[in-house]
Structure formats: C-alpha cells, structure tokens
Structure 1
Amino acid sequence: MGIDLEGKIALVTGSSGGIGRACALMLAKAGAKVAVNYLGSKAQAEEAAQEIRQAGGEAAVFQADVTVPEQIDAMLRGIQKQLGGTVDLLVNNAGHMVQRVPNIELTEEHYSRVMDVNMKSTAFVSKAVLPGMRDKGYGRIVNMSSVAAHNGGGPGASIYAASKAAILSYTKGLAKEAAGSGITVNCVSPGFIGNTAFHAAFTPDAARQATVKSIPLGREGTPEDVAGAVLFLLSDLASYLTGETIEVNGGMFMR
C-alpha cells in the first residue's frame, strides 16, 4: 500500500534545509502541494522548491518568522492564494537551540528566543491552520521534539530541552482538543541526525564520534530517516494515531 497525498496542501515550517527540507521533498514525492517556509535562507528555500518542481511536483516559497502571529497569518493567506486552498498537513519543524548557555549565565533574552522559536512557533502555527482543518473535518499535524526532551540535552541546552519537552505535552493536549474535528496531532522526536546545520554548529567532532558509538544501530540518522516517520504520521496509515510520539534515534533512547 503506497502513500498518496494527492490533492493535499502541506506546510513545512523551517524547510529550507536539513530535516525540514527532507520532509518537504518527501511529501511532494507523495503528491502533496508543498509550502516551503523559511526565515532567512531564501536561496536554499528556492532551491528546495525548484527540486520539487523539477520532479513534477508543486511548491511555493513563503518567508515568515513563525514566532510572529501576524506573519503566520500573512503566510497562510499566501498559501491559499498560490496553492489553491487551506493547509491540510502541517509539519511544525522550525526550531533552534540558538546557542549553548549554562543556566548560571542564562538571560531572559536567551530564554525567550529559545522558547519562542520552538514552543511558541508550534502553538501559533497550529492555531492558525486549525480553523481550515476544522471546516474540512480533516487535518494532520506533526510537531518536532527531540531526544533532548527526555535526557535534558547536552551542556548548556537545558532551556532547549525544556522547550522540546513542552512540545511533547502540547502535542497530547492539542490532540485531545482536535480529535473531534477529524484532526490528528502527533510528534516526532529525532536523536542524533547528521547532515544538519544544528550539529554543524553545536556538536564538536569528538562528541559526534562518541555519540555515534553509543547508538545501537551504529550510525547517525539522516534527515530522510526523520522525514519517513513524518510522512507516515501524515498519511492515512496513521489515521488512528493521535497524541503519540515516534522516537527516531537508532535505539539511543528507548521508551
């Protein structure tokens, strides 16, 4: 049984690179029209959209800071105009650790930036797409957590870990609220995923090698590994799953 998303409109936040880009490409291959969202990497976002079009899919690029509700609303108006409808499938991928900050050095500015880009963006993009999904009696939302939500993260990442743990709980709460409208809400929790800007910026090579050695499957993950789980949760194969989290970590954390 193949996965067919033909006729569905998908929004993937933060999809100019890494996991978000892999999700956008995979959803397009399954037939969805894809809204590629970016904050500052316009060229990369255009490249992702062009790759989708060259493969015969449909994509449009939208710049928006998804921590700002007014920009989210403007993006959704653009999606409706350019892709011909409201969002059916949402992947709340946008997120960042910003930088490693020990708690003894924590500032209110850092706390707010991390919580906003991870938790606030997830909540307010979800809020913005819910009316359209409710009107159709159908919708799929996938949020992006992290193994850090379970283990507290690495040095200086406690606020990031807390924001990702909040997403786990939010997913369950929203799943309960939305279930009566035919909307499922689930979560993906990646472990150590290579080929991403996150680890290029925050993980020294020695730490990377040590982490890979601790993974039972013996390798770091790829953005496509995460995108496969996202695709499953957005498909009809997962129509009876809601409020759940899939751990994509090669066995480094098992529940």
Structure 2
Amino acid sequence: MSSEAKTLLITGGASGIGAETARRAAAHGYKIAINYRSRDAQAKAVVADIATKGGQAIALPGDMANEADIVRLFEETERALGPVTHLVNSAGINGKRGRVDEYDAAILANLFAVNVVGLMLCCREAARRMSTQHGGKGGAIVNISSMAGTLGGRPGSSAYAASKGAVDAFTKGFAREVAAEGIRVNSLRPGMVLTEMTEGRLNDATFRASIEASIPMGRIGQSHEMADTILWLLSEQSSFITGAMLDASGGGYMI
C-alpha cells in the first residue's frame, strides 16, 4: 500500500504490549486509536503521552465480546482519524487457570468470545475496509497469539492455549483469502513477557526463576521487544510476509 496517512487501531491498547506498540507506532507517524474495555485512565494516559510528543491518538472503549462494540469501534476510528490501514489485535484474557476437569462453561465461552470471536470480527471489519475488492487500499494486520498455542500452554493453561491455537489457524486461512487484495495478516507469538497480565505471578521470585530456567535465553521478554516486532510486521519492510507465525519467545521452551 502507499505511504499515505497511516491509521492504526489497537485493541487492548491501554496496557502491556498494546500500549507500548501505540507509543512506538505514534513515533513512526501512525495515527493511533487505542481500544480498551475497563482501563479508562490508562488508555487516556497513553493518548496524552502520544500527544505531548506531537502525535495523534484517541481512546475508544469497547468490549471484544460484543459485536456492536466492535463495529462501532471501527466506525468511530474512521470518523476521527480516517480509514483504518493497520490493525493490531492485542486484546486478550487469560480466562481461569485450571485443569480440564475444573472447566466452567461460561468462563470458557467468554474466553473464546474475547480471544477468538472478537478477534475474528475485528478482522472482518478490517477486511471490509482494507480489501481492494471492497474499494480499499490494502493494509496490514497483526494478531497477538502466544507460544502457548504451540504446545498446549504451561500446566493449567490448556483453555487459553486452545484459544491462541485458534488464532493461529484463523490467521493462516484469513491471510490466504485476502493476500491478492492488498492485505497482509500475520501472527506474533510472544513467550512470557512482563506486562500487567503477568506481573502478579512474576513478582513471585520462585515462579519467575522457574520460568526463566525454561527459556533458552534465560530471561523473560519486555513489551518494547514485542512492540518493535509488531511494527516490523506492520511495515513495508515485511512486504512479502503474510500468513506467518513469528515466535518472539527467547528460543521457546526447554522441557
């Protein structure tokens, strides 16, 4: 696609990898729409951060488990910033950790509603706007998956891992469908990264040491390392890459 105005919508952009991606993308000239569900103050702080550095950003509430919210999110972004040219699906939840024999149907349904169906509907809305078949100019999408999807997750995370496995399978299929219509779609699979979602558990020194011992590089990842990789996947530097799963995990797992 051309190097005209770039508008990036980030779901789950108020914290963690999404927030870091927003800040760095703004520095690269993207106009940013930060979606959030409950982190109102944090989302507005990221927007203010970007504004003080001369960038343009807005914060938009919306629940990824709600189709009407997703449609409205895209419409409001377009009204405020122009056509959505880039999308990062970063919103996600852990669900409830536990063994299969402890599953709760409602918790499972919500996990998949947010991590899978919500992400797919965001991709639907993006395709309707970006695809040359619909009069768009193309675009790039990055779906945030997880290394958990590659081997079923760490103990107690089988449901979360299954949701991320679905993201990867969908990414591959979707990428092929729209490859000739100017849209690239790739998946980033972070390993254990220090974010608001993980810091509670990583504050436990014993847990953190066991995690770091299982990573070939011997350390956990940082949000900025994920953000820089996402920006590369969004950029023309990765122009011949679509349908790829990129592992950003310090080498994966040593089992």
Q: What is the SS of the residue equivalent to 1:94?
A: coil
TM-score by length of 1: 0.93
Q: Is the 8 A contact 2:186 2:244 kept in 1?
A: yes
TM-score by length of 2: 0.93
Matches within 5 A, 1:146-185: 146-185=146-185
TM-superposed CA distance for 1:202, in Å, is 4.6
TM-superposed CA distance for 1:176, in Å, is 0.7
Equivalent position amino acid for 2:248 in 1: V
For structure 2, the residue ranges without an aligned partner over 5 or more in a row are none
* Residue number in structure 2 paired with 1:87: 84
TM-superposed CA distance for 1:218, in Å, is 2.6
Equivalent position amino acid for 1:43 in 2: A
Q: Is the 8 A contact 2:64 2:114 kept in 1?
A: yes
Equivalent position amino acid for 2:110 in 1: R
2:229 and 2:118 map into 1 onto residues whose CA distance is 21
Q: Which deviations, in whole Å up to 9, do the C-alpha atoms of 1:81-108 show, x marking residues without a partner?
A: 111x121000000001122122111111
TM-superposed CA distance for 1:252, in Å, is 2.5
Matches within 5 A, 1:1-255: 7-83=5-81, 85-134=82-131, 135-194=135-194, 196-202=195-201, 204-253=204-253
2:87 and 2:200 map into 1 onto residues whose CA distance is 27
Equivalent position amino acid for 1:131 in 2: R
Q: What is the SS of the residue equivalent to 2:215?
A: coil
TM-superposed CA distance for 1:217, in Å, is 2.2
Q: What is the SS of the residue equivalent to 1:90?
A: strand
- The count of residues paired between Structure 1 and Structure 2 equals 249
Misfit runs of 4+, over 3 Å: 201-205
1:56 and 1:6 map into 2 onto residues whose CA distance is 18
Q: Which moved more, 1:140-149 or 1:244-253?
A: 244-253
1:103 and 1:200 map into 2 onto residues whose CA distance is 25
TM-superposed CA distance for 1:148, in Å, is 0.5
Q: Is the 8 A contact 2:145 2:190 kept in 1?
A: yes
Q: Which deviations, in whole Å up to 9, do the C-alpha atoms of 1:110-154 show, x marking residues without a partner?
A: 111111111111101110111110122311010011011112112
Q: Is the 8 A contact 2:201 2:207 kept in 1?
A: no
Q: Which moved more, 1:85-94 or 1:199-208?
A: 199-208
Equivalent position amino acid for 1:64 in 2: G
